[in-house]
Amino acid sequence: MTGLNRHGIWAIYKFEMARTMRTFWQSIATPVITTSLYFIVFGGAIGSRIDTIGDVNYGSFLVPGLIMLSLLTQSIANASIGIYFPKFTGTVFELLSAPISALEMVIGFVGAAATKSVVIGLIILVTSALFVPLRIDHPLAMIAFLLLTSITFSMFGFIIGIWAKGFEQLNIVPALLVTPLTFLGGAFYSVDMLPQPWRTVSLFNPVVYLVSGFRWSFFGQGDVSIGLSLGVTAAFLVLCLGLIVAIFRTGYRLKN
Amino acid sequence: MQSILSLSQVSKTYDSGHKALDHVDLEIGRGEIFALLGPNGAGKTTLISIICGIVTPSTGTILVDGHDAIRQPREARSRIGLVPQELSVDMFETVMATVRFSRGLFGRAPNQAVLDQVLKDLSLWDKRNAKIMELSGGMKRRVLIAKALAHEPDILFLDEPTAGVDVSLRRDMWKLIGKLRERGVTIILTTHYIEEAEEMADRVGVINKGQLLLVEEKNALMQKLGKREMDLSLVEPLGAVPPELAEWQLTLVDEGHRLRYTFDAQAERTGIPSLLRKLSDLGITFKDLDTSKSSLEDIFVDLVERRESSNEGAAA
């Protein structure tokens, strides 16, 4: 056998999707309910006093940020448990002994996790259309950001899953790092609304670039330029990929 | 012997400093059944894990059918199936789904007929749509074997295949191994049940403390190292071994009812005819005579103990 182990990639992808389908309703229901709550609290209760940001109504302004929030948390959660669970149960022996390269394994695991995130992102988009008027100025860019973010953060989750030695470690990075970065990443406000020096500090938060770029694809306006947004997202993707290659090369926390 | 697996100077020292394998050389012939014997912690699982790519060796090279296991992992690993010692299975999957997953993971195109046959061979056919969590321990073991066979490997590793397994499954397992051998599959198993090695293996390797102490044809090994015993059931019990019989170093067992003579089966003169003559001279009569070979287990314990005591001697 030479070339790509496509049967292996497909086997992992199907296995992971089957895992998602087993918990289909809770996988879908949770983000839909959470998003609806955000719309009621931030969009309805608070948003009614904010009016518009730029020329966008606050409720609509929230949509890209909320989708981004779900994409990040779902991608990380899904991919990290996907690789952590085989380590926990011991079935990882089969993955390690299989004729499958690091890249192929990542395509399988990350592909499945990203697929789920994209589906959830689209479901939230549809749900939010029930609450607020929506327009998407740049649908292609919107899809590109959706894919890029899901893939990148699924890879990040994959790394966390390999690094984690227990269930509590699995949650520590999302809780201590990702959630704060997301809340401070302009999901609920425009960075311009922050006083200095926080506006400058925000520019070191990678999530700002994700949210800004994604929001641009909806309304044609963002906190930073679209090129910079894409650049930062792509750079994070390359960084995650590099880390994963290093992990498999050294066998870090996978092999003795 | 055309070798399908070749290890040279394989060593493994874990990060903890524990030296699990110490310069192991081993050649496995195509189609043979090889049993690796050793006490717990001897390095059996480490050796298997290294060949299968789960543990990285500290030094040494491994060739699987001519492919370097480190530099050409894809070629090497696609030829190997591994049944691990632990019952590590995906609880929520069905039997058929998990076997299909394994075949795909190892890069083989789907082939339902092969999977069906594997499940039938392992008496799993009736359970093919059952979730693995619903199966008994023995059934889970069968599932692991089915997964390892799903991609039709040339070499099958069985790490302690019958540990904690009931008699019927053990018989089934032996039958299956016989069938696989007819198909030309090379089988390497680790065990500490000596009877398993005795029953199935062509060759036996003994490993202890990371060192491969010996590799030998099973029959030759048993002959070479085997001691034989002859028991004579006496008509009249004896209180002590008569001094005239001192040169045979006999022992009395069963409260003097039986006289035991231990001899080397390979020796040119076993001493049996002269012993029997002497007994009749002394008027000691017996009603029955029984000889037995020492088992592989006796040989094994003997070998490991001898090696340990000689090491202590060298250290002192």
CB contact under 8 A, B90 and A89: yes
Report yes or no: A160 at the B interface, CB cutoff 8 Å. no
What distance in Å separates the CA atoms of residue B308 and residue B1, rounded to the nearest whole number? 32
Q: Closest to B101 (Cβ–Cβ): which among A11, A22, A89?
A: A11
> What is the average pLDDT across B276-291?
88
Residues B120-145: tens digit of each pLDDT:
988 899 999 999 999 988 899 999 99
A22 phi/psi in degrees, rounded to 5? -60, -30
> B273 and B219, same structural domain?
no
Cα–Cα distance list, B187 to B79, B148, B190, B197 (Å): 12, 12, 10, 12
Find the domain containing B9 and state its range. 3-223
Distance of alpha carbon A116 from alpha carbon B231, whole angstroms = 74
Question: H/E element holding B115?
Answer: helix B112-121
> Is some CB atom of chain A closer than 8 A to the CB atom of B104?
yes
Q: Give the minimum alpha-carbon distance from A3 to chain B in angstroms, rounded to a whole number.
A: 10
Same domain, B135 and B244: no
Interface predicted TM-score of the whole assembly (ipTM), two decimals: 0.88
Answer yes or no: do B255 and B188 share one domain. no
Is the same domain home to B137 and B152? yes
- Count how many domains chain B has: 2
Please indicate whether, in this complex, the C-beta atoms of A7 and B105 are within 8 angstroms of each other.
yes
B149/B85 same-domain check: yes
Pair (B218, B231) in one structural domain: no
d(CA B18, CA B119): 40
Examine the fold and report which residue of B195, B223, B251 is the final residue of a domain before the chain moves on: B223
Q: How far is CA B290 from CA A249, B245, B294, in A?
A: 61, 19, 13
Residue given tokens 């925000």 in the structure block? A202
Report CA torsion sign: A97, A99, A105, A111: negative
- Cβ burial B290-300 (10 Å sphere, 16+ → b, else e): eeeebebeebb
DSSP B204: E
Residue B310: inside a domain: no
pLDDT tens-digit series, residues A95-150: 999 999 888 999 999 999 999 999 999 999 988 888 888 889 999 999 999 999 99
* Residues of chain A contacting residue B73, judged by C-beta atoms under 8 Å apart: 99
Instruction: Look at residues B200, B223, B246 and tell me which one is the last residue of a structural domain.
Output: B223
Q: In this structure, is residue B304 part of a structural domain?
A: no
Same domain (yes/no): B81, B117: yes
Question: Both B265 and B215 in a single domain?
Answer: no
Which letter does DSSP use for residue B240 in this model?
A: S
**Amino acid identity at B229:** E
Contact B82/A at CB under 8 A:
yes
**CATH value at residue B256:** 3.30.70
User: Per-residue pLDDT tens for B9-64?
Assistant: 999 999 899 999 999 999 999 999 999 988 888 899 999 999 999 999 999 999 99
Query: Is the domain of B121 the same as that of B247?
Result: no
- Quote the minimal CA–CA distance from B145 to chain A in Å: 12
The shortest CB-CB distance from B92 to any of A22, A93, A100 is to A22
Note whether residue B264 is domain-resident.
yes
Say how many residues make up chain B: 316
Query: Based on the domain organization, do B33 and B172 belong to the same domain?
Result: yes
CATH assignment of the domain containing B79: 3.40.50.300
Q: Which of B178, B201, B223 is the last residue of a domain?
A: B223
- B chain contacts of residue A7, beta-carbon cutoff 8 Å: 103-110
pTM for this structure?
Answer: 0.83
Please give the Cα distance from B36 to B180 (Å, whole number).
18
Q: How many CB pairs under 8 A join A and B?
A: 89
Whether residue B75 lies inside any domain: the answer is: yes
Query: Phi and psi of B182, rounded to 5°?
Result: -60, -30
In this predicted structure, what is the pLDDT of residue B316? 44
Nearest chain B alpha carbon to A8: B105
**Of residues B91, B104, B147, nearest to A10 (C-beta):** B104
| Burial profile B257-274: b = 16 or more Cβ within 10 angstroms, e = fewer | ebbbbebeeeeeeebeee
Q: Are residues B27 and B45 in the same domain?
A: yes
In A42-71, the residues whose Cβ lies within 8 Å of chain B are none
B268 touches A: beta carbon within 8 Å? no
Identify which of A91, A151, A163, A84 has the alpha carbon closest to the alpha carbon of residue A116: A151
Q: Identify the closest residue of chain A to B147 by CA–CA distance.
A: A94
For A131-144, write each residue's pLDDT tens digit: 888 889 999 999 99
Asked if B288 is an interface residue toward chain A (Cβ–Cβ < 8 A), one would say: no
Residue B43 lies in a domain: yes
| Geometric angle at alpha carbon B282, from B281 and B286, rounded to 5° | 95
Beta bridge partners of A103: none
DSSP letter at B131? Answer: B
Residues B179 and B235 in one domain: no
Instruction: Kindly state the tokens that stand for B243.
Output: 């001094």
Scanning every residue of chain A, which has its alpha carbon at the shortest distance from the alpha carbon of B148? A94
Cβ–Cβ below 8 Å for B107 and A5: yes
